[in-house]
A and B are shown apart, each in its own frame.
Chain A
């Protein structure tokens, strides 16, 4: 059964205007609002884990200091900068979409994709090192430099792997979404009247950047002076 709507009037609808919306402006508004509603669930999702992190950080400050000292702060700082660069190129991709420049959208989205790939690669190197150092929680956790703190450092590492792991998962999903948006830009789907998918992609990408800003401060830099 065909779901296409034959309008009685003779005007042509924009191919990406869903029929429940009055116009593309309203559709854009609904898209961004809907994305923000999703992001508010994400804020509380990461917020809940960060809350647990803070409860235990206040309980075991010494173990948290040791845990953070086990992180590669150079890699953490480089990755923070890489994500800021990717946010800039993402924002510029949205701007190119607003201006209707197809090549610009594709170029900036590919740059964003490359920065995302660099981030995930560096994260992978860190994960590999932690694994080799016996810093993966559970039966594989063999790190024992401070035996009296080992179980609490393991707890810190549990937060480290959960928070950075969920963040990395978001990055991988973001890379997948970027490839999809690039393919749509390639097919010339976007113009100044219709670029909501690029805008919503940007909202997601910037949110993931914001999460990392906090993870870098909380997991890498605490007690760096000690």
Chain B
């Protein structure tokens, strides 16, 4: 049914090899194990930052490779990065209030 469709350009997205997906899968699995192991050690104030760092790396891998952001248009990038900038605004402005409330007490 495609013989007359040569003027209707297909999405020109490169097809990633299977090993790309398997590598990302392996990295996500290792990340999960690391998260669980790290959580069981008392790392003082570093427990939460380390958990957040691993979760962020996993998220970036999923977005770049599983969600194909690496081959997406710049407009899509604007939306993706814009989402996280707004999320950052939400957290930074809220905590600029909540965290500084304790300063007055101490």
Contact = CB atoms under 8 A, between A and B. Distances in A.
Nearest to A209: B62
A132 interface: no
Interface in A7-24: 11-15, 17, 23-24
B85 to A, nearest CB: 10
Nearest to B2: A193
B104 interface: no
Nearest to B17: A95
Interface string B70-90: 001101100110111011001
Contacts of A14: 2, 5, 8
B39 to A, nearest CB: 4
B78 to A, nearest CB: 9
Nearest to A98: B15
B76 A33 contact: yes
Contacts of B8: 13-14, 17, 23-24, 193
Interface in A63-120: 73, 77, 80-81, 84-85, 87-88, 90-92, 94-95, 98-99
Interface stretch (A36-44, A134-142, A156-164): A36-44
A28 B40 contact: no
A76 B9 CA distance: 44
Nearest to A199: B68
A40 B51 contact: no
A98 B13 contact: yes
A124 interface: no
A165 interface: no
Given A95-B18, A217-B35, A224 B75 contact: no
B23 to A, nearest CB: 11
A226 B66 contact: no
B96 to A, nearest CB: 12
A206 B12 contact: no
A202 B35 contact: no
Contacts of B18: 92, 95
Contacts of A192: 10
A40 B83 contact: yes
Interface of B: 1-2, 4-5, 7-13, 15-16, 18, 21-22, 24-25, 28-29, 32, 35-36, 39-43, 47-48, 51-52, 54-55, 58-59, 62-63, 65-68, 72-73, 75-76, 79-80, 82-84, 86-87, 90-91, 94-95, 98-99
Given A48-B90, A88-B24, 14 more contacts: A14-B5, A23-B9, A24-B11, A47-B87, A51-B91, A85-B25, A88-B21, A91-B65, A94-B68, A209-B62, A214-B55, A216-B32, A221-B39, A225-B43
27 contacts: A11-B4, A14-B5, A14-B8, A15-B1, A23-B8, A25-B10, A25-B11, A25-B12, A32-B76, A40-B82, A44-B83, A51-B90, A55-B98, A58-B99, A84-B25, A87-B66, A88-B21, A88-B22, A88-B25, A91-B65, A95-B21, A192-B10, A194-B10, A210-B59, A217-B39, A223-B47, A225-B42
